[in-house]
Structure 1
Amino acid sequence: MKKIGIIGAMQVEIDLLINKVQNLTKFTYAGFPFYHGELFSNEIIITNSGVGKVNAAACTQLLIDQFSVYSIINTGIAGSLDEAVKIYDVVISSDVTHHDVRVEQKKNLFPFQETFQADKQLIELALQTCAYLKLNSTYHLGRIVSGESFIEDIEEKTRIVKNYAPACVEMEGSAIAQVAHINKVPFVIIRSISDNADENTTLDYKKYEEMAANQSAQIVLGMLSEMKWP
């Protein structure tokens, strides 16, 4: 039985998952909660990283060091950066990058990566799960970008879209991806859209946050039910 790590930035993003876990035990390391148990014959460790890339990176490294997870799934919500990606749609990461770090810095400094590629097996499993669940929304495979700020300014949104052509934006995925990459741990990011990263973001976010978070968690549950490792 291989260990699967699941990371959400907020409790609302992981509550549905925690409530399904059998033989649940809670651990705390450096202030981060880790929920350990079994789900669909998989050994699961679910954690709440808190918001932002620094928190996400620290939490991801602890998850790897303390539990030796085989793979990582990041679940949660995000803001759309593509007109084709609507509120309540789902984005599965093809690759992930920081939108608030210069390209030259990413290329020339450790770990020398402009983007971090999600695991092909996990991507395929996520796509198959979305198709099987027959979601009341559209699912997309695309780039996800992350930064240390909540995007609700149209000028900032335009800059990010011009430079990176992403499907959506959030605040943790690229940090999780970078830590997974340097530790050689397969990962995928699953995000359900809660807003359009514009001047209406705050209102949309409050309205759709829980619904979008639960949809992402439902996809993770579907993936776990089908996971068969060699």
Structure 2
Amino acid sequence: MVKTIGIIGAMDLEIELLRDNMKLISKENIAGFNYCIGRIEGKNVILTCCGVGKVNAACCTQILIDRFKVDYIINSGIAGGLHKEVKICDLVISDNVTYHDVRKNQMRSCFPFKEYFEGDKYLIDVAIKACEITKKENYHVGRIVSGEYFVSDKNIKNNIIEEYNPHCVEMEGAAIGHVAYLNKIPFVVIRSISDNADNDANMDYDTFEKISAEVSAKLVLNMIDMI
């Protein structure tokens, strides 16, 4: 059975390289989201940009599932590093995702009664193999946390680290994983580090955002070839 891979980036720069490598068949605009339908590495792919933030990401993901019946979801993009071993331009592969701006007790006690959402083992394994084959970037497998603000304060960063022990922080991955979980769709979040989520984050982000976005997208291209 032919599989369809849904790929989501928050910003245009995060999907630019993927779009450049896509044989475009058609486009659809639904609820303001543009969906590119085509093939990459001979595989059926739906590529979309969800915009920044959890609500945008969740809406875009649900449409991707309902309208395009995707079999897998890969979220590609950039993030702020939160682990001492994670450096700028390193890759992080999510083994699970959660929110850093929602209380753990609320996650456990309210539907869907999950403190975090686990990435798909098959997709994680594919991502690891793709990293090991290319041997171009350092990679890590770990927790990715999401919230509704760009983390650029050392004190906030340290609080998130103490509470969640994550590898990196961004603004969409947990919402994408949340929706994928509800719909029983395998997912993984791939992030390349653009900054260290500290007081220098804005300066680092401006310098490395495009480079890091391409690092993540290149890994996803290699993953598509292997799926």
Smaller-chain TM-score bracket: over 0.9
3-state SS of the aligned residue for 1:14? helix
Partners of 2:40 and 2:194 lie apart in 1 by: 27
Partners of 1:102 and 1:119 lie apart in 2 by: 24
Matched AA of 1:127? I
Q: TM-score, normalised on structure 2? A: 0.98
- Segment of structure 1 superposing worse, 17-26 or 211-220: 17-26
Give 5+ residue unaligned stretches, structure 1. none
Matched AA of 2:172? E
TM-superposition CA deviations, 1:133-174 (whole Å, max 9, x none): 111x31000000000000001111111000000000000000
- The number of aligned residues is 226
Paired position in structure 1 for 2:178: 178
Deviating beyond 6 angstroms after TM superposition, the runs of 4 or more aligned structure 1 residues are none
Paired position in structure 2 for 1:46: 47
Matched AA of 1:208? F
Partners of 1:138 and 1:218 lie apart in 2 by: 13
Deviation at 1:22, TM superposition (A): 1.1
Give 5+ residue unaligned stretches, structure 2. none
Partners of 1:164 and 1:99 lie apart in 2 by: 7
Deviation at 1:40, TM superposition (A): 1.8
Report if aligned partners of 2:94, 2:188 keep a CA contact under 8 Å in 1: yes
Paired position in structure 2 for 1:214: 214
Is residue 19 of structure 1 aligned with residue 20 of structure 2? yes
Q: TM-score, normalised on structure 1? A: 0.97
Partners of 2:186 and 2:226 lie apart in 1 by: 17
Deviation at 1:42, TM superposition (A): 1.1
Is residue 59 of structure 1 aligned with residue 60 of structure 2? yes
Paired position in structure 2 for 1:36: 37
Matched AA of 1:53? K
Partners of 2:141 and 2:119 lie apart in 1 by: 11
Paired position in structure 2 for 1:153: 153
